[in-house]
Amino acid sequence: MAEIATKNQSDALDIVQETMIKLVEKYSDKPCNEWKPLFYTILNSRIMDYFRRRKVYNNLFFWKKPHLEDESFEDEITKASDYITPERELQGRQDIQKVSKALKQLPPRQQQCFLLRSWEGLSVIETAQAMKCSQGSVKTHYSRARQALTKALNDE
C-alpha cells in the first residue's frame, strides 16, 4: 500500500517501519486480533503525513520547478530519498538557507501570507481569517511573495 501510494520503495519502507514502531509503542497491550486494523489505521495516517510533508516541500521549493512540465524533475522529487548522498544533503541544507534568507527579505504581511499558505497549507479563506484581511489581499500578498522569492532565489 505504501509503495503504491508513494511510488517510492525507500519512502514506503520508512513509512512501514514508522508504522510498526508506533504500533508496538502505543498498542502492544491490545489483544492480537486488534493489531491488524490498528496497523492499517496507523499506516494510512503515516501515508497522509508523507503527502503533507511533500506538499510543504513542493510549496517551499516551488522555484526549483521548471516552467515547463518536465517528467525528469518529478521523477527526481519522487525518487529523491532513493539517492541520498552527502552532496544532496548539503544541497538541501543550502536550499533551506536560501529560502530562509529570501523569506526574511519579504515585507511582514507577505512573509505571513506565504508561510500560512505554503507552510501551513491554509486555504485563501483560512489565511484571510488568520490575517484579518480580505481574500483579495491574501491573493495579492501571496502572489507578490512568490514573485519576490522566485526572483531572489533565481538570482542566487
The sign of the torsion formed by the CA atoms of 66, 72, 74, 76 equals: negative
pLDDT in tens, 66-109: 544 444 444 444 444 555 567 766 777 787 788 888 888 889 88
Last residue of a domain, one of 58, 84, 110: 84
Q: How far is CA 94 from the centre of its chain?
A: 17
Count of domains observed in the chain: 2
Average pLDDT, the chain: 81
Regarding whether 32 and 100 lie in a shared domain, the answer is no
Average the pLDDT over 8-32 and give the result: 92
With bands split at pLDDT 50, 70 and 90, how would you rate the model's confidence at 142?
very high
Q: Which domain holds residue 27?
A: 1-84
What is the pTM for the complete model shown? 0.53
Regarding whether 78 and 112 lie in a shared domain, the answer is no
Regarding whether 43 and 3 lie in a shared domain, the answer is yes
Question: What is the grid cell recorded at 15?
Answer: 513509512
Among 14-18, 96-100, 127-131, which is the least confidently predicted range? 96-100
Q: Phi/psi at 83 (nearest 5 deg)?
A: -130, 45
Per the model's pLDDT, the better-predicted residue between 145 and 75 turns out to be 145
Asked whether 54 and 5 are in contact (CB, 8 A), the reply is no
Q: What is the pLDDT of residue 134?
A: 95
Asked whether 47 and 113 are in contact (CB, 8 A), the reply is no
Q: Does any domain span residue 89?
A: no
- Which stretch of DSSP H or E encloses residue 148? helix 135-155
Q: What is the pLDDT of residue 70?
A: 46
Per the model's pLDDT, the better-predicted residue between 23 and 61 turns out to be 23
54 burial type by CB count under 10 A (0-12 exposed, 13-18 middle, 19+ buried):
middle
pLDDT in tens, 34-55: 888 888 889 888 988 898 888 8
